[in-house]
Structure 1
Amino acid sequence: MDLKKAMQYNNFVVIGDTLNEEKYAYKIKHELINSGYKVYSVGKELKSLNDIDEEIDIIDLCINPPTGIKLLRESKKKCKGLIIQPGAGSDEIKKFLDENHYDYMDGCLLVGIRLYGK
């Protein structure tokens, strides 16, 4: 997965505090919406990835690692790729993603939107 490839998709999930204007999850969610992407928010709005009825293209992990791994483990949903924001990753998350054959990368989705967005 790379940012250019990620930005070619349409359905994004931002996992994090998307209700607090001070948080990066909030900023990422609104940048995606303003750029024409469809966005779901898990953490403060939806409680689980399983609450999303549509196919998920890209998950943006923008939450503390213990909560992030919990949400990923309980999910029955698949995605095409996953972006791990700075501070949201851990060895445990990467091991889980490798074992379950997820395509992922460490990166900043805000950079992806600005460089490769619609």
Structure 2
Amino acid sequence: MNGQEMLTYKNWAVAGDVLNPSKYAYKIKNRLTDAGYKVLLVNPRGKSEEVFSDLKEIKEKVDVIDLCINPHVGIKIMKEAYTLGINKVLIQPGAESEEILSFCKEKDIAYITSCVLVELAQKGM
């Protein structure tokens, strides 16, 4: 699966510092929303009305996770995703680790290491 194929799915969970305007997770959230995607927000350190502290709190279907978070936290999110049956992840630069990549391979989770902002631009969005 490549980034363009992942963009065919419309329900995304962005994991990271999604409320901080200086962070990429915030920019990604806004670009996906502007492009017409349903975006659910996850930050284990910052729960609020609009931000979930983990994936299991989300009642809606999640098609793809955009991992834009420290890899030490990212592996926990991926393990939770696996137990919930979420099997697609776009891993942003800096969010990847050998542990995450190995876990995805072992558990048959479709993953790419890319930037969703670049993927959206290539799609003309």
Structure with higher RCO (Cα < 8 A, 6+ apart): 1
- 2:24 equivalent to 1:24: yes
Q: Which residue of 1 aligns with 2:95?
A: 88
Aligned-residue CA RMSD in angstroms?
1.4
Aligned to 1:70: 76
Contact 2:65 2:90 in 1 (8 A): yes
Matched residues in 2 for 1:13 and 1:21: separation?
Answer: 17
1:98 corresponds to: 105
* Structure 2 portions without partners, runs of 5+: none
Change (3 A) 1:93 1:113: same
Q: Secondary structure at the match of 1:71?
A: helix
Provide, for residues 46-94 of structure 1, a one-character-per-residue CA deviation record: whole Å limited to 9, x for no partner. 1111111122111100000001111222343222421110000000111
Distance 2:110 2:41 in 1: 20
Q: Which residue of 2 aligns with 1:3?
A: 3
In structure 1, the gaps of 5 or more residues are: none
What is the number of equivalent residue pairs in this alignment?
118
The one-letter code matched in structure 2 to 1:60 is D
**Identical positions, percent:** 43
